[in-house]
Structure 1
Amino acid sequence: MDEACRNCPELCDTRTHVVHGYGDVAADFLVIGSEPSEVADRTGVPFAGDEFSALARMLARLGLCDLTSDPATPRLVDVYLTHLTRCRHPDRPPSDDEIDACEPYLDAEIRMINPELLIPVGQRALSLIGAAYTTRSPDSLRIDDVHATPIRGRGFELVPMCDPATASEDERDEWVHAFAEIMASDYRQTKGRRER
């Protein structure tokens, strides 16, 4: 992964860090957000927060994040975090061209981790991941309709999540309960993986 990437000049000029993925590289679960937050840009860790982010607290409820670790570099178990883009612009979301420029990094992470479940966070991640890994039209994938609902994909199952930072407590609870049921089931698909 290129720490000195200059593919997107407007993002490169405003970033502090290139924010590549972070977490358990043998994870069954891969969380994909749209772009790094201000704290993630400062620390270089996706979804990082000065305090534990809403996402970290949700993952902790599932036993996937250790809330006794440093919030800037949380200990994650069986989960890997990443974004569609590696850099943050402070005043706007990434453009389609900027997301396209980062696509090889995301593809490499997905191939490296080889997760069982992809967790797109928010509408933009859902649309792009849904288009790439399901046979459904991106127009049919509305985050408000499929939040916390498993979607069979090509090689991966998707479990979309509303953005935890803006979601209601009920929406966060709904996702945690749905995901706990998935974790308790036989969610592993046959993809040539060796059992751990």
Structure 2
Amino acid sequence: DKLLKLAGLDRSEVYITNVMKCYLPENKASEDEIEACTPYLDKQIEVIQPRIIVALGNVATEYLFKKFGLKRQSMGKIHGKIYKVSSLILQAEIIPMYHPASALRNPPLRSVLMEDWRRLGEHLREKSR
């Protein structure tokens, strides 16, 4: 919720979901597990029609980039950048960011993550003008 506040958002204003729809004991999804769960994510995206998708972490980013034909690079190069995507069912912006849990494992990422959320807030304010 603190990161949402940095962007000027309240949890009630956003829809939060995961690529993985089940608990993973070791927190590491196989390609088969991801493939089994993504149809549910696709349906959520189709129903909700988000204008902005903040992809938190590598699993979400890799899936969405592949789905929309974007070239995947390291998170260090793409985090916080805006990628416009368009398909028959969706026109949106994808903004990849480090997953908040990564900042717990790698404390220097905390300031990067916070800055990305601040910039997201600025982007949202610009779009609402």
Q: Structure 2-normalised TM-score?
A: 0.82
Alignment of 1:1-196 (within 5 A): 56-65=1-10, 76-133=11-68, 135-138=69-72, 141-154=73-86, 155-167=91-103, 168-186=109-127
Q: Can you give the 5+ residue segments of structure 1 that lack an aligned partner in the other structure?
A: 1-55, 66-75, 188-196
Segment drifting more, 167-176 vs 120-129? 167-176
| Deviations, residues 14-52 of structure 1 (Å, cap 9, x unaligned) | xxxxxxxxxxxxxxxxxxxxxxxxxxxxxxxxxxxxxxx
Q: Partner of 2:54: helix, strand, or coil?
A: strand
Query: How many pairs are equivalent?
Result: 119
Q: Which has the higher helix share?
A: 2
- Residues 113 and 186 (structure 1 numbering): CA distance in 2 closer, same or farther, change over 3 Å? same
- Residues 58 and 159 (structure 1 numbering): CA distance in 2 closer, same or farther, change over 3 Å? same
How big is the alpha-carbon RMSD for the aligned residues of Structure 1 and Structure 2? Answer: 1.7
2-structure distance, mates of 1:83, 1:176:
18
Shift of 1:80: 0.7
1-structure distance, mates of 2:17, 2:50:
13
Aligned amino acid, residue 178 of structure 1 = R
Shift of 1:157: 0.8
The higher relative CO (CA closer than 8 Å, separation ≥ 6) is in 2
2-structure distance, mates of 1:172, 1:128:
20
Tell which structure's C-alpha radius of gyration is larger: 1
Partner residue in 2 for 1:10:
none
1-structure distance, mates of 2:121, 2:8:
10
Moved over 4 A (4+): none
